[in-house]
Amino acid sequence: MRLEANNLTKAYHTQEVVNIEKVTFGSAGLEGLIGPNGAGKSTLMGLLTRRITPSSGTMKLHIEDKTHPLNPFHSHQVARIGLIKTNQRIQGFDSLTIRDSLRLAATPARAEGFKSLFSGQRDSEEVEEKVARLVEAFPFADRNGYAMSGGEKKLLDILRCLIAEPKLLLMDEPTAGLPEDITRSVMDMVREKVQAGAMRVVVVEHDLPLIWEYCEYVHFLSEGSILFEGAPEEVKANRVVAEKYMGV
Amino acid sequence: MDYLIFSVSLMLVYIGLAQLLHIQFGLAGIPNFGVVGFWGIGLYGTGVLYVKAGVPLLPAMAMASLLATALAYVLARLVLQRNGQAILAATLAFATIVSTLVVSEKDLTGGVQGLGTIRFPFSDLEQRNLIFMIMLLIVVCALIWISAKLRDSRLGRQLVAIRDNEELAASLGKNTAATKRWVFAITCGLMGLLGGMSAPLHQFLVPYQLSPSLTFAVWIALVLGGKGHNLGAIVGVFVTFGLFDILIETYAPVPAEQAILLPNFKLFCYGVLLVMIIMFRPLGILGVDKPKVRSSTTTPPRELSNASVEKG
Amino acid sequence: MLLLDSIFIGLLEASPLILAAMGFTLIFYLNGFMNIAFAESITYGAYSAILFNVVLGLHFYLAIIPSMLLSGVLSVVVYLGIFRPALNRGVGPTEMIILSVGVSFMLRYGLILFVGPENLFLNEPNITYLQFFGMGATNLQLIALVLVLFAAGVLYWMIYNTGLGEQMRGLANNRDLAMASGINPHRTSVAIWFIAGCAGGLSGVFTGVFAQVAPYMGWNVILITMLVTIVAGVGSVRGAVLAAVVAGILTAFITLITKPLYAEVVLLTAFIGVLTLRGARTA
């Protein structure tokens, strides 16, 4: 499992937002991506999931012994080969209940064809079980209803991505808008899945203590480029990171 | 009696069209303002094949519906990934193109002189119009049944997700563009089928039948009845077409000099009704119905997963 | 020669369309929805001209101004009575369009119930046929063209060079920020709806005098107005003027080389093509 980008750039008009010579994600189990505001973190995530079209450069996802070039893909194709991203901004399906939203994410798209009109039961026991397990693990106000608060919507967004069982999960600021204890239980669940070998994760965060606690490897992005990479201890001790980011 | 059968048959066509629009707009969120265009392709396609090419009626209907499907697919490829207002304008433009071509291609369609005569199937039976009405009834019931199945299916759930937030649905691996395209093409093809079935009903086809008022009548009925409810189309058509075109125009004692203004009065009332409903009951008379699914939404509580128990 | 002819005829034909497109665009820009009931601003402008010119016996040129103003007043009444309450309730853009279809029906068929479905004719001033450089036009057509270009120029100046235009652009871009900086959204909106109604009314008067005054005249041009507006980009008044002129010239050109019906088909197909290339994407 390796997500690799080479000579990746993205410019809006003449403003270059991302300019990365080479970066590889997914070598370690849980990785962090940190950097000051405006460093291009969200743009990079958008590029990797093909919601944003790069100005130049190539992106490849290696899974087992297959290599998928990501450039010609649409965003749904990226998701189908196992690369999914949680959203920083609150997003959701307003007319789907919490359970329906999760069932939707747990159902592979090929099971949603016209034939599904005539299958007796809408969701398999397997899907129902996965949904129930997730819904009951978290304190939603109305487990059979809709996600009401911003926090519930944010949590649901992350759970949707988890239940889709990606090979590589990108998490864009999972702590923003979530209470601390919920963030921790989400991250614990994520770590457990990573340790079980089910997936690998890249977390984009401003909450550095969380990064130091969970991540095995950290990338530092500033002004659109990767300036330093290494284990948390190395990043913490690095002078460039300290200067550009931690304001020391 | 014949007139009543004709009116009821026409009403069935309206219900069918509104039902298909419910799928397109109510479920998938595609604002198709070119209903009369797809219906018209079916109508005139059937008419031309039957009258000019001598194709028997039922194969002619099938071929015309396929044509409507194909054209809808092409149009979908062109504009369906644009925003709602662009889709609305493009479908409206499509319908206008269809009606303009019907006027200009006189050799094929008879132009303003009209095209006829298209006979009912089973033309040697005396009750042929009644039989045809029952055929229409079967088609419309099938449409209602299918859209209920769609509402309760995984595909229907995906459509609702696309309507709510297409980008998010795509990021979860749903090929939203293809889903919308196929649903649009097939439902437009079925609008074409209803157009084909309208051909023997009208017997004689004139371009006037392709005016956008059909599109608006169907939209008004659906919005009144409830765009997101599976029975919204029926209720809406009963309240509009059923009430005005059948009850009042047939049975109300209106003096002859005022009768000529009656259709205008009807459309004026439609306008007032539409404004009132959007202001005071935007989801329509019936509101929105939820999927009726046999699944265990009340599973007994389970033990929390280890991760969340051991937190902290 | 063909090109010159079509530019000339196109401009003559497009002159009412330019005004209609500008008025339609103003509302689209300010409130973010396509107001199909704008068709009735055009129709009511022409019927007001009937009132002043035929019923009250005013000279045609004198009837233009009050007809235009009446149409503007109607536009404001409809805005305050229906569209503003609906916008305040948070009705979405597609539903706003459906609402405007309802308003359009109410106004159009209300008018028919009131004055009857027959086509009416304005008392035209003396018409002389002028010829120059081998091209012909009536004096009325030329006066219309000049008047329309003048009105369009005034409108254009107002939008890009006056406080009202600035306020409108502020409201359209960021309502909260505009209000915080002291713009009265209520007064600006009323002014814009009034101006849009006047533009539609003026367009209707000229559409009516070139042919006839009929209940469907507004509807007949609203589709092309809508397409012009969308193709020009969301509410760019500059773009709308340009697209209207191009549409007029294109129509005239195709009409000259083929049957007029094909001109419409080609134009609409071209519009769908442009939408495909540059419409706003959903996903």
**Could you read off the pLDDT of B170-181 as tens digits, one per residue?**
999 999 999 999
DSSP symbol at A66: E
Put simply, whether B273 touches A (Cβ < 8 Å) is no
Structure confidence at residue C280 (pLDDT):
55
Residue B167 lies inside a defined structural domain of this protein: yes
Give per-residue pLDDT as tens, B37-84: 999 999 999 999 999 999 999 999 999 999 999 999 999 999 999 888
In tens, the pLDDT along C184-240 reads: 888 888 999 999 999 999 999 988 888 889 998 888 888 888 888 777 765 567 777
Q: Which residues contact B109 (CB under 8 A, 6 or more apart)?
A: B44, B47, B48, B102, B103, B115, B205, B207
Biggest CA-to-CA distance, chain A: 63
- Sign of the CA dihedral B130, B135, B139, B144? positive
Per the DSSP assignment, residues forming a β-bridge with A4 are: A24, A60
Average pLDDT, chain B: 89
CB-nearest to A85 from B155, B171, B307 is B171
- The distance of A97 to chain B (nearest Cα, Å) reads 10
Q: Which residue of A has its CA nearest to B177?
A: A76
d(CA B17, CA B2): 23
**B101 contacts chain C (CB < 8 A):** yes
Nearest-Cα distance to chain B for C27, in Å, is: 14
Are A112 and B146 within 8 A, CB to CB? Answer: no
Q: Is B230 near chain A, with CB under 8 Å?
A: no
Q: Give me the pLDDT at residue B147, please.
A: 95
- % of chain A residues with pLDDT over 70: 99
Element (H, E) at A8: strand A2-12
Residue B267 belongs to some domain of the structure: no
What are the residue ranges in chain C where pLDDT is below 70? 1, 132-136, 233-236, 278-283
CA atoms of B14 and B241, how far apart (whole Å)? 8
Residue B168 CA from chain centroid, whole number: 28
Nearest CA in chain A to B176: A76
CA proximity to B299, closest of C187, C155, A128? A128
Using a 10 angstrom Cβ sphere, with 0-12 exposed, 13-18 middle and 19 or more buried, the burial of residue B95 is buried
Size of interface A-B (CB pairs under 8 A): 144
Residue B213: predicted pLDDT: 87
Smallest CA–CA distance, residue B89 to chain C, in Å, is: 6
Q: Which amino acid, one-letter code, is at C46?
A: A
Residue B299 confidence (pLDDT): 45
Q: Give residue A214's Cα distance to chain centre.
A: 15
Rounded to the nearest 5°, which phi and psi values hold at C116? 90, 160
Chain A hits for B312, CB-CB cut-off 8 Å, are 181, 184
Which chain B residues touch A101 with a CB distance below 8 Å? 161
Distance from CA of A141 to the nearest CA of B (A): 15
Residue B309 has pLDDT above 60, yes or no: no
Nearest CA in chain B to A105: B172
**Chains with 3 or more CB pairs under 8 A to chain C:** B
Question: Within an 8 Å CB–CB cutoff, is residue B175 touching chain A?
Answer: yes
How far apart (Å, rounded) are the C-alpha atoms in residues B271 and C261?
30
Q: What ipTM was predicted for this assembly?
A: 0.93
What integer pLDDT is reported at residue C133 of this predicted model?
61
Domain count, chain B: 1
Query: At a CB cut-off of 8 Å and minimum separation 6, what does B8 contact?
Result: B133, B246
AA identity, residue A108: P
Distance CA A62, CA A55 (A): 22
Q: Which residue of B has its CA nearest to C88?
A: B279
- The CA distance from B213 to the nearest CA of chain C, in Å, is 10
The set of residues, in sequence order, having a beta carbon less than 8 Å from that of B287 and lying 6+ positions away, is B226, B228, B229
What are chain A's partners, defined as 3 or more CB pairs within 8 angstroms?
Answer: B
Predicted local confidence at residue B306, as pLDDT: 38
Higher pLDDT, B221 or C243: B221
For residue B204, give how far its alpha carbon lies from the nearest alpha carbon of chain C (Å). 23
* CA atoms within 13 Å, Cβ hemisphere of A44: 35
Strand partners, A5: A23, A59
Q: Among residues 277-296 of chain B, which lie with CB inside 8 Å of chain A? A: 288, 291, 293-296
Q: Which of C82, C109, C281 sits opposite B267 (nearest CB)?
A: C109
CB B198 within 8 A of CB B39: yes
Superfamily classification of domain A2-93+152-246: P-loop containing nucleotide triphosphate hydrolases (3.40.50.300)
Closest CA–CA distance from residue B44 to any residue of chain C (Å): 17
Q: Is A179 exposed, middle or buried (0-12, 13-18, 19+ CB in 10 A)?
A: exposed
> What pLDDT is stored for residue C132 in this prediction?
65
Q: Which residues contact C161 (CB under 8 A, 6 or more apart)?
A: none
Residue in A30, A88, A121, A122 to test binding to B, most B beta-carbons within 10 Å: A122
B90 touching chain C per CB within 8 A? yes
User: Chain B closest CA to A142's CA: distance in Å?
Assistant: 12
Distance CA A111, CA A108 (A): 6
> Distance between CA C238 and CA C157 in Å, rounded?
11
Asked if C230 reaches chain B (Cβ–Cβ under 8 Å), the answer is: yes
How far CA A191 is from CA of A26, A31, A175, B120, B294, in Å, comes to 14, 11, 15, 69, 35
What's the 3-state SS for chain C? CHHHHHHHHHHHHHHHHHHHHHHHHHHHHHHCCCCCCHHHHHHHHHHHHHHHHHHCCCCHHHHHHHHHHHHHHHHHHHHHHHHHHHHHCCCCHHHHHHHHHHHHHHHHHHHHHHHCCCCECCCCCCCCEEEECCEEEEHHHHHHHHHHHHHHHHHHHHHHHCHHHHHHHHHHHCHHHHHHCCCCHHHHHHHHHHHHHHHHHHHHHHHHHHCCECCCHHHHHHHHHHHHHHHCCCCCHHHHHHHHHHHHHHHHHHHHHCCHHHHHHHHHHHHHHHHHHHCCECC
Which of B75, B86, B268 comes nearest C105 by C-beta? B268
Q: How far is CA A52 from CA A6, A49, A209, in A?
A: 16, 8, 30
For residue A148, the distance in angstroms to the closest alpha carbon of chain B comes to 16
| Alpha carbon distances (Å) from B44 to B111, B211, C229, C247 | 11, 13, 31, 29
Contact B89 C105 (CB under 8 A): no
pLDDT along chain A (248 residues), means of 10: 93 90 92 91 93 93 91 93 93 94 93 87 90 92 91 95 95 90 93 93 92 94 92 90 75
Amino acid identity of A39? A
Task: Provide the residue type at B114 as one letter.
Answer: G
Cβ under 8 Å to C: B residues 106-165: none
CB C230 within 8 A of CB C276: no
State whether B164 and A191 contact (CB < 8 Å): no
DSSP helix/strand/coil, B10: helix
Phi-psi region of B203 (alpha: psi -120 to 50; beta: other; left: phi over 0): left
The conformation of residue B238, written as its DSSP 8-state character, comes to: I
- Which chains have 3 or more CB–CB distances shorter than 8 Å to chain B? A, C
Residue B237 tokens, joined: 């058509």
pLDDT digits (tens, 9 = 90+) for B147-168: 999 999 999 999 999 999 999 9
For residue B226, the one-letter residue type is G
B279 contacts C89? CB cut-off 8 A: yes
Selected residues 256-295 of chain B with any CB under 8 Å from a CB in chain C: 261, 264-265, 267-268, 270-275, 278-279, 282
CB pairs under 8 A between B and C: 147
To which H or E segment does residue A233 belong?
A: helix A232-237
Task: Identify from B36, B165, B274, B288 which residue to disrupt to test chain C contact, counting C C-beta atoms within 10 A and taking the largest count.
Answer: B274
Name the DSSP letter for residue A62: E
**C282 touching chain B per CB within 8 A:** yes
Closest CB to A136 among B169, B173, B301: B301
CB A99 within 8 A of CB A131: yes
Contact yes or no for C272 and B78 at CB 8 A: yes
Among partner residues C108, C265, C281, which is closest to B100 by beta-carbon distance? C265
Which band of pLDDT confidence, cut at 50, 70 and 90, is reported for residue B197? very high
Taking an 8 Å cut-off on Cβ atoms, the answer to whether B157 and A75 are in contact is no
Q: Contact C85/B279, CB-based, under 8 Å?
A: yes
Q: Which domain holds residue B53?
A: 2-208
The DSSP bridge pattern shows strands C129-132 and C135-138 to be antiparallel
Output phi, psi for A59, to 5 deg: -130, 135
Classify each residue of C155-182 as buried b or exposed e, where b means 16 or more C-beta atoms within 10 Å of its C-beta: beebbeeeeebebbbbbbeeeeebeeee
Element (H, E) at A17: strand A15-25
Q: Provide the greatest CA pair distance for chain C.
A: 58
* C-alpha of C273 from chain center: 23
* C residues 156-195 lying closer than 8 A (beta carbon) to B: none
What confidence score (pLDDT) does residue A247 get?
64
Name chain C contacts of B93, Cβ cutoff 8 Å: 223, 227, 268, 271-272
Partner residue opposite C103 with nearest CB, options B81, B271, B282: B271
| Phi and psi torsions of A188, nearest 5° | -65, -40
- Which residues of chain C have a CB within 8 Å of the CB of B167? 282-283
Which tokens in the block code for residue C283?
Answer: 């996903």
Structure tokens at B19: 């039902």
Residues of B in contact with C43 (CB under 8 A): none
* Residue B98 in contact with partner chain C when CB distance is under 8 A: no
- Does the CB of B89 have a partner CB in chain C at under 8 Å? yes
